[in-house]
Amino acid sequence: MIIVMDPTDDASVTAAALAAHNPTAGRITVHPTPDTSSVQTLAHDLLAALGKPLHRLGEEKILSARPAWQAALAWLSGEAHQQLIVLRTHLMNETRWEHLLKIPVLTGTQLLLVYHTTQLGAVHQSMLTPLSHQITDDISHVLRLDHSGEDSYPSHSDPPATSIPPLPRIDFPHFRAEMRRQLSDDQFAVADAEYAYGIEHACLWLTRHPEYRSTISPARKIGMILPLTLRADELDAGVAVLQQGYSKIFVDELSEGILCLGRLSPNVKGYPHPWRDEMGLQIFLCELVANALSPRHTLARLRGAQAGFLMHGVLLNMPIDLDLLHGPGITSTPLTSAIITRIRSHTAHPQHAAALAASLFTNIDVPILASTRVDHLSSDASHLQAAIPNSAFYAVPPHARALMRAARKFTQLHLPEPGREPPQYLFRPAIGREGQHLEKIAKVCGFTLPVLPNRNPHSPWHRQVACWRVSDPLHGPEADMRIPHADREAPGWPN
């Protein structure tokens, strides 16, 4: 916590603080309304500085002091803002200061209070005494500090708009060849780029997955970097040179990550056997198609992913009629940066924003969405579990995770009424018994909610896949040029 003393009430100090306001970089400046005592007004000022529409507070039932303050804290925490600058703090009463001084503990946001007078008041001084704080009269130095950390508004470029004509409804072994026969050269080039995207990211995900890596024989994978024409003694000598000259991590990454090579250890037998990490697979498939521009883009990516999996001896079975099913990339709405920006600027309640985003990227039924509990969201907000039989897992698009974190924080800050249990549902207050609240939120933001088809409404396509280890990997050195470098990001699995 930093206290900036401004004994002469210098206009340049106020100007510097206001100029530092940059929500995208995680720095918020609040110039409070001239009201020395109202926490409600201060909460509204903070929400306005965060870019939230104040005219929505009444409709979203966060107009009064307590829920408005909860919402402001939730947005500060969820959007990971790193610094909050508050002007005119010398005029604020003890109650306002009590609320301000709790912000760093509740949100992790650094507090910078600008005090426009010669010395701290006695009450304020006593409140600061037990807290770790710094006092300075140089605001320019404070504003030059590097506040590194997660971006409050992560930068994610949307893919260029391209169209793909109808694609063949056929399984993946013949999909690319049939696509080549049906499409023109230009159409095929667009569709094949999506197909290659699916192959590359499938290879990346598999080769970095513990379940796959644990079955690769270290001696075998190192030897496969070397030319296949070498004699056994030459291979042994080459392996020895690599092991002596390079670290094990480097050689492993070279053989697994860059070349996508590997062979199963001799002790792994009994083909076929099922892929165990069903949750990870579902999340990977969701991330793979999260920014696909249309169901046809999704289909091309998924067929490519099937081909990539088989290169590694893994058979990924998917329905032939994917285009008739529902789920991510088929009936969901791609959450572009423009859509997220619009949700953020048109809703003030964190749960309302998160519920709308979740409805768009999952396309799950309203009652299921309403029954999503706080603990269904992963700790890093990267994936969400749907409360349906046998569960379905959805990847949360990176630029929507701040909304999920804010909704969770709002729920955690909400104190139950006497005699009632703490709230446990992540979206329910924003949805309504029949989804009427959610429809209103979507209308305010200018969106139409995806329609859930009658066919298997509780079984999205990515829950209908089956994955089996069926053979040794088929991926050889001749295919290594199609695989991106090891430092590329792979959907669904952290680097």
Handedness of CA 201, 150, 24, 450 (dihedral sign): positive
Name the one residue in this structure whose structure tokens are 């209308």: 443
- pLDDT band at 162; cut points 50, 70, 90: confident
Question: Poorest-confidence range of 157-171, 191-205, 265-279, 373-387?
Answer: 265-279
- pLDDT band at 250; cut points 50, 70, 90: low
Q: Is 345 helix (H, G, I), strand (E, B) or coil?
A: helix
What average pLDDT does range 254-262 have in this prediction?
49
Would you give the DSSP letter of residue 6?
-
Mean pLDDT: which of 133-142, 185-194, 235-244, 389-398 is highest? 185-194
The pLDDT of residue 472 is: 78
| Residue 481 reports pLDDT greater than 50 | no
For the stretch 406-455, pLDDT in tens is: 999 999 997 666 666 667 899 988 998 778 899 999 999 999 887 766 55
DSSP 76-114: HHHTT--EEEE--GGG--HHHHHHHHTHHHHH--EEEEE
- Say what angle helices 65-78 and 401-413 make with each other, to 10 degrees: 140
The pLDDT of residue 249 is: 62
Residues of 311-335 as b/e, b for ≥16 C-beta within 10 angstroms? Answer: bbbbbbebeeebbebbbbbbbbbbb
**In the numeric block, which tokens belong to residue 205?**
């995900």
For the stretch 293-305, pLDDT in tens is: 999 999 999 999 9
The pLDDT of residue 484 is: 41
The pLDDT of residue 113 is: 96
| Residue 56 reports pLDDT greater than 60 | yes
Name the one residue in this structure whose structure tokens are 């109808």: 166
For the stretch 60-89, pLDDT in tens is: 999 999 999 999 999 999 999 999 999 999
Q: What percent of the chain has pLDDT above 70?
A: 79
Residue 85: CB partners within 8 Å, gap ≥ 6?
Answer: 17, 20, 21, 27, 28, 29, 30, 112, 114
Q: What residues does each domain of the chain span?
A: 2-143, 179-318+465-482, 337-415+422-461
Q: Is 267 helix (H, G, I), strand (E, B) or coil?
A: coil
More confident residue, 220 or 53: 53
**In the numeric block, which tokens belong to residue 218?**
């270290």
| Residue 398 reports pLDDT greater than 70 | yes
| Residue 353 reports pLDDT greater than 90 | yes
| Residue 479 reports pLDDT greater than 50 | no
What average pLDDT does range 449-471 have in this prediction?
80
- pLDDT band at 400; cut points 50, 70, 90: very high
Q: Is 440 exposed, middle or buried (0-12, 13-18, 19+ CB in 10 A)?
A: middle
Please give the mean pLDDT across all residues of the chain: 84
- The CA distance from 91 to 133, in Å, is 19
- The CA distance from 174 to 452, in Å, is 30
- pLDDT band at 159; cut points 50, 70, 90: low
At 319, the amino acid letter reads: P
Query: CA 297 from chain center: how many Å?
Result: 21
The pLDDT of residue 212 is: 75
CA distances from 108 to 1, 44, 102, 188, 329 (A): 11, 20, 10, 50, 35
Would you give the DSSP letter of residue 254?
I
Q: Is 280 helix (H, G, I), strand (E, B) or coil?
A: helix
What average pLDDT does range 283-289 have in this prediction?
96
Beta bridge pairs of residue 315: 468
For the stretch 82-109, pLDDT in tens is: 999 999 999 999 999 999 999 999 999 9
